[in-house]
A and B are shown apart, each in its own frame.
Chain A
Amino acid sequence: MRNGYLFAAYAVTWIIHITYLGSIVRRYARLKSEIEQLKK
């Protein structure tokens, strides 16, 4: 049962990091497509 906490801690860590990285990737992709639009 205690090891549930261990798993939770590691999982939360990566959820936070992946979410943040994901937001960066998403915004970057959106900017790139915006630039493509501007170039037209």
Chain B
Amino acid sequence: MKKLFPILGVLTAILLIYALYQALVVAPTERTMGDVQRIFYYHVPSAWTAFILFFINFGASVFYLIKRNPAADIVALVTAEVGVVFCTVVLITGPIWARPVWGIWWTWDMRLTSTLVLWLIYVSYLFLRRFSSSGETPLLAAALAVLGALCVPFVYFSIWFFRTQHPQPVMGGGGSIDPRMLHVLLINWLAFSCFAFLVCWSRYRLEKLQREVDHAHALESLMDPRGSAR
């Protein structure tokens, strides 16, 4: 297991470099937007990765509510954190793309708006995890995760209807995509998914170690109430 991680790390790095090359060199230049459009190859895979991570968070939280499995709780924490990181990337690359193309930093475009709300929900989840006392955190967080996940369809529906009533420029263009561009997009998505997996794995190991250390400290102070300074 220990050997696997560095090997996967190197493979992922190579894949990422290859994907970058594809995005910058191989992919055809977009007609209207020019080279700036290549931000798309980082913006969209980050969004998809974030959504998948949040979905796993939902699954892990439900599993925790049913089985009270501590590993599921760690998976929930990890996927929420890494998901927020990827979501942050989406929310920053979005405006950087919008500015040269539309002349504005932000547009209440359907995708960007829903991503923002998603980000807010999971950041509030992370706040709950940080601010609640450790005994009850896993259960409360799991409950919040379920509520947050259930909220997602409402977020999409409400913003979709709102946008059909009050149309705004749509980022990233609707309609069909050039197959060569789709190819590059998928390569970048694969690369980022592998990267996300490794980041989650690292964070998981860190959290597991942290909990073992905390547990050891707790035991120590139980056994030796006189001595241990912490």
Interface residues of A (CB under 8 A from B): 2-3, 5-6, 8-10, 12-13, 16-17, 20-21, 24-25, 27-28, 31-32, 34-35, 38
Contact = CB atoms under 8 A, between A and B. Distances in A.
Contacts of B46: 13
Interface of B: 20, 34-36, 38-39, 42-43, 46, 82, 85, 88-89, 92-93, 96-97, 99-100, 195, 199, 202-203, 205-206, 209-210, 213, 216
Contact of B36 (A3, A17, A27, A32): A3
Nearest to B38: A6
Contacts of B199: 17, 20-21, 24
Contacts of A20: 82, 85, 199
A24 B209 CA distance: 12
A32 B210 CA distance: 10
A23 B100 CA distance: 33
B36 to A, nearest CB: 5
Contact of B209 (A12, A16, A28, A38): A28
Given A9-B97, A10-B42, A31-B210, A21 B202 contact: yes
Contacts of A34: 213
Contacts, number: 69
A6 B202 contact: no
A28 B35 contact: no
Contacts of B203: 24
B209 A8 contact: no
Given A16-B88, A17-B89, A24-B203, A6 B209 contact: no
Contacts of A35: 213
Contact of B89 (A3, A12, A28): A12
A28 B206 CA distance: 6
Contacts of A17: 85, 89, 195, 199
B29 to A, nearest CB: 11
Contact of A16 (B20, B85, B195): B85
B34 A12 contact: no
Contacts of B35: 2-3, 6
A31 B209 contact: yes
Nearest to A26: B206
A27 B44 CA distance: 30
A35 B202 CA distance: 18
